[in-house]
Amino acid sequence: MKHIRLRRTTGLAIAAALLAAAPFLTAQAQQQHAHVHGQLKLDVAVDGPTVVIDMESPLDHIVGFERAPKTDAEKKIVEDAVAQLRAADKLFIVDPAANCKLGPVDLRSGALGLGNPDPNEPVGHADLDATFSFNCTNAAAAKFIDLNLFGAFKGLRQIDSQIATAQGQFKRQLKRPAGAQAAQPARLSWGK
């Protein structure tokens, strides 16, 4: 809920930013880092021998809150979520034609103390950003990725995706299927 996020950050953070930068730049930075609950961004690049997936998600989808974990139960939720993200070949099933194996997984979240997070992450609305790299023997053959994200992330309603390949650029939007269907993989496909 973008408007709520903007309202909450209207305070010290913006006052400090206004002192530091021209208003135009501040507005732009705000826009770039706004997140909408229920929506997740995926950028897929099929490049040489790799398929690289960049994910930008409100932390809320992943753990159910957007701050550092406080209780043991919350710490356990974070631990499990991180393990699930590291096992990314269960979340992202790349077209078998490309013959890919999961390579490096990079997770970034200021609230969870992971990686090198975006320094402009808005206070009170933390993101989790991730880069999942797959090494493939025939990456160019990849025409789809089956996503298990709707099953894994209960609050997720929509995936906005951009795919860049040697054949061209594609934009795709996937909506959460109704009921039990959401537990099934959702196919993100492109090309022919």
Q: How far is the CB of 178 from Zn ion (least distance, A)?
A: 24
Residues at the contact surface with Zn ion, assessed by CB under 5 A: 58, 66, 125
Q: How far is the CB of 122 from Zn ion (least distance, A)?
A: 8
Cβ distance to Zn ion smaller for residue 32 or 169: 32
Nearest to 62 by CA among 109, 101, 106, 96: 109
Cβ distance to Zn ion smaller for residue 66 or 129: 66
Of all residues in this chain, which one has the CB nearest to Zn ion in the complex?
A: 125
- Written as six digits, the tokens of 30 are 């705000």
Bridging pattern class, strands 39-47 and 158-165: parallel
Cβ distance to Zn ion smaller for residue 56 or 66: 66
Q: How far is the CB of 87 from Zn ion (least distance, A)?
A: 25
DSSP state of 170: E
Q: How far is the CB of 37 from Zn ion (least distance, A)?
A: 6
- Written as six digits, the tokens of 190 are 């492109």
List C-alpha distances in Å: 76 to 63, 71, 89, 91, 139. Answer: 10, 9, 22, 20, 36
Cβ distance to Zn ion smaller for residue 11 or 177: 11
With beta carbons less than 8 A apart as the criterion, state whether 156 and 136 touch. Answer: no
